[in-house]
Structure 1
Amino acid sequence: MVRMSRREFEDAVDDALDSLPDEVARAVAEANVAILVEEEPPAGEDLLGLYVGIPLDERSVFQGYAEPDRILIFRGPLSRLAVDREHLVHEIRVTVLHEIGHLFGIDDARLHELGWG
């Protein structure tokens, strides 16, 4: 397990978001999505991150008001997975990109092919 303060962890999430190409970052910013760090996934779930919402490719102007989508990044499981700080930062980035991929409607199989497993 790698120990990283919550602030450092959140900074690593921010760094992953800052690494996005401008077009992708703009689309995420316009997508009505909140990106949050949570300590643990829901009980019984074995997750590093979770996208909750309606992917951009399935949205419709006829849906009316909708709560913001959420991307949850789970600090506990990622910290337990990592073998060192560099590995943790890498896994945070991969998890952020993976969940953003779901926002864009990309399925798990394709995300794994892209290296965002």
Structure 2
Amino acid sequence: MTIRQTIGTAPDATAIEAIARDALERLPEPFRRHLGDIVLRVEDFADEETLAALGIDDPFDLSGLYTGRPVGEKSSQDSGALPDMIHLYRRPLLDEWAEGGETLEALVSHVLIHEVGHHFGLSDADMHALERMAE
């Protein structure tokens, strides 16, 4: 008798984005109100230029990134600037998920909320508090 185990495919970018959007919906209203214009992008890896600018050699070492100006640093002189973005990198997230003991939802939420924290200019302690509020 042969035992056959079915193993599903790794979550794609759409699935990761759905997890991230769900995490955004769980944030308290005062935070969600200021996230309406932020762009959420899920890509397999950061591009070479981004990795070089951050001094990162291994693309698996970057699971998320906020690009833009924190809310408290914005001014009316920012016209023409690119939109604020949160980038989530699928392959590093999946690698970390496979190696760790937490759910993919918890990991994606953690990385997303960390990047949201950068958008608001929060400290690490504030980011952890925000993460607890979104559970």
Q: TM-score, normalised to structure 2's length?
A: 0.71
Shift of 1:9: 1.6
Q: Quick one: which of 62, 65, 78 aligns to 2:80?
A: 65
1:65-104 CA-to-partner distances (Å, cap 9, x unmatched) read 3110111011100100113796211010001100000000
1:85–1:3 Cα change, 3 Å = farther
Gaps of 5+ in 2: 1-8, 49-56
AA in 1 matched with 2:110: V
Gaps of 5+ in 1: none
C-alpha contact (below 8 Å) 1:17/1:25 kept by paired residues: yes
1:113–1:21 Cα change, 3 Å = closer
1:93 and 2:100 aligned: no
AA in 2 matched with 1:38: E
AA in 1 matched with 2:65: L
C-alpha contact (below 8 Å) 2:69/2:84 kept by paired residues: yes
Greater Cα radius of gyration, structure 1 or 2: 2
AA in 2 matched with 1:36: R
1:33–1:113 Cα change, 3 Å = closer
Q: Which residue of structure 2 lines up, in the alignment, with residue 41 of structure 1?
A: 46
- SS of structure 2 residue aligned to 1:51: strand
Alignment length (residue pairs): 112
C-alpha contact (below 8 Å) 1:33/1:68 kept by paired residues: yes
Q: Percent identity over the alignment?
A: 29
- SS of structure 2 residue aligned to 1:80: helix
Q: In 1, Cα distance between the equivalents of 2:127 and 2:25?
A: 22
C-alpha contact (below 8 Å) 1:98/1:111 kept by paired residues: no
Q: Quick one: which of 8, 14, 39 aligns to 1:7?
A: 14
